[in-house]
């Protein structure tokens, strides 16, 4: 066989965990590999054969469950109540900033153009004057035309 030799049960020494748990797992893997008999493993761990079978079952079940395929991607994170409150306050602050900028713009327009800010439309007074002017001349139409009055019929 080419390449590195497999680490086998010695690979357990590199894993995180308590010394007792690493030793138990190493002995369980040695029995699975055939390097150690059940009675030797029970003597080394100072446990009964029934307890050894329980430990082996738990170790293999845990290993199997941990390598089950899961859903792809990151798990969705549920925001904490504090984070949700902060997000809501930031949104409210952004809305208030927009309102403040609009109010400042209206105030600036009012100081620059006070005549426009005081009236709703500059064209309204002209319409009223034009209507009064034409009302004073009942015989005239708009644009300089005169109304022809029909001759009285006898």
Q: What confidence tens digit (pLDDT) does each residue in 114-132 have?
A: 776 555 554 455 555 555 5
User: How many angstroms separate the CA atoms of 42 and 55, rounded?
Assistant: 11
pLDDT of residue 78: 86
Lowest mean pLDDT among 78-82, 91-95, 121-125: 121-125
Judged against a pLDDT cut of 80, whether residue 92 lies above it is answered with yes
> Between 49-66 and 38-45, two packed helices, what is the crossing angle to 10 degrees?
90
Nearest-angstrom CA–CA distance, 5 and 3? 7
Is the predicted pLDDT of residue 152 greater than 70, yes or no? no
pLDDT digits (tens, 9 = 90+) for 59-73: 999 999 999 988 888
CA dist., res. 45 & res. 30, Å (int)? 13
Instruction: State the residue for tokens 């899961």.
Output: 70
Nearest to 143 by CA among 125, 132, 130, 153: 130
- 148 CB-side CA count, 13 A: 2
Burial 18-34 (b: 16+ CB within 10 A, else e): eeeeeebbbbbbbbeee
Report the Cα 7 to chain-centroid distance in Å. Answer: 45
Mean pLDDT of the chain: 82
17 has pLDDT over 80: yes
Among residues 30, 26, 22, 24, the alpha carbon closest in space to that of 55 is found at: 24
């Amino acid at each position: 066989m080419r390449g590195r030799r497999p680490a086998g049960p010695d690979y357990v020494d590199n894993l995180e965990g308590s010394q007792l748990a690493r030793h138990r797992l190493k002995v369980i893997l040695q029995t699975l590999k055939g390097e150690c008999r059940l009675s030797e493993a029970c003597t080394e761990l100072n446990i009964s054969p029934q307890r050894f079978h329980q430990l082996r079952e738990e170790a293999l079940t845990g290993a199997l469950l941990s390598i089950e395929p899961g859903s792809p991607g990151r798990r969705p994170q549920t925001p904490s109540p504090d984070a949700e409150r902060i997000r809501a306050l930031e949104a409210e602050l952004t809305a208030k900033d927009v309102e403040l900028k609009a109010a400042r713009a209206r105030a600036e327009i009012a100081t620059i153009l006070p005549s426009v800010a005081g009236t709703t439309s500059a064209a309204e007074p002209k319409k009223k004057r034009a209507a009064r002017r034409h009302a004073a001349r009942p015989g005239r139409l708009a644009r300089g035309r005169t109304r022809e009055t029909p001759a009285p019929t006898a």
